[in-house]
Amino acid sequence: MNVAASAIDEISDQELISVTGIVTSNELFSDHADNLKSMRHMELQSKDHLELNDIKSERIKKASKKRRCYCCQLCLLLLKFTGILCHIFCCPPIPEMIIRKLAFHPLKKGKTYVLYGKDIHGNFILINNAKKASKFTSLKFEVQQLIEGSSISVEGIETSIIKTRRGSYLPILMISNNLSNDESKDLVVLFSQPNSSDLGCYFQSRGLNFRDISELLKTVIYAYDYSGYGISTGSPSEKNIYADIEAAYKHISESQGPNVRIALLGYSIGTVPTIYMASKHPPNLCGIVLIAPLASGLRLYTKTNRTCCMDRFLSYDRAPNVNVPVLICHGCMDNIIPKNHGEILMERFPRAVPPFYVEEANHLTIFSRHNLSVFFRIRYFLFHETDPLHTLNH
């Protein structure tokens, strides 16, 4: 023990400090490394946290921007819709003007057809106005094809200009065929078209045309443009379409003579003047055909048995005054003028024949090449269910 103690005592204070210092440095190095690792880990966590915050912030900014864009689009849409409503109902707030904006959509003048008038020198001059065309004794109808395809012949089509009691000038065409027989020799059909077409639309290569209609029905077809449509003068309105069909009917009576039977054929809004004309009991009327008819304007939006003072196109109220046979054809898939309009009207006509409803037809295909059965039904009606000549005007 004394030897050991002596050995320890022999160690100098400096050596003891040196040894102790070495141990202390190692401990400090180890602690420093641990601190560095901890700080590095904290830095990485902090960096990840910042990156996550940046991502969240960016997403929030994008979502906020999308919300602002959506709100702006919604505001613009509401403003546009409000502007349209103001234009329709407030400028001016007159029922006739409101109906004109809602119901009539004429194509651009000259888009589907033009007329040429023959002058005294035998030259044909382009005419874009029916009033000017009325001064020519010879007129030529020329189709402007909207799509590529074989053109429809207009040879043999008679073009005339008529004037209505409201001062409009309208073109009227007579389309004949070589398929007439004893059943149709004294029969002609006056066609009233939908609201977004004119005469040129029924001479396009890929759609139903007047040549097809005339051949399928085996009758002479008369067709006219409403005021403000095609090259007609005037403006489209409910009052004008009534005056328009009156002028067309008068033209047929004068050009065909007293021994003719006239059947009216209306499609969509064309059923409105058709029913109006039939309710006036004109001479030589033998029957009417209604394709996708509407009962009245407001009944497109609400079901009611009472007619509102603001309602227009009052076919529902005029139907009981029609005293000739009536055929109604309607597509069951029609979402523009639902089939129930045809059903309502059929109950109102005193002499309605069994209707013809087509299961898969809509507002456009009901009167097209897709449903030729409709034309066969119309032809049967014209030949077998309309009034004969000897019973007319009595």
**Residues labelled catalytic:** 268, 334, 363
Q: How far is CA 293 from the centre of its chain?
A: 16
Peptide bond into 388 cis (omega under 30): no
3-class DSSP assignment, residue 12: coil
Q: What is the DSSP string of 45-58?
A: HHHHHHHHHHHHHH
Report how far residue 191's alpha carbon sits from residue 324's, in angstroms, rounded to the nearest whole number.
17
Q: Spell 40-57 as b/e; 16+ CB within 10 A means b.
A: eeeeeeeeeeeeeeeeee
Angle at alpha carbon of residue 93, lines to 299 and 235, rounded to 5°: 80
Q: Residues 296-324, buried b or exposed e (16+ Cβ, 10 A)? A: bbbbeeeeeeeeeeebbbbbbebbeebeb
Nearest 5°: the CA angle 76, 81, 86 is 125
For residue 99, the tally of other CB atoms under 10 A from its CB is 20
Cα 168 to Cα 241: distance, rounded to the nearest angstrom:
10
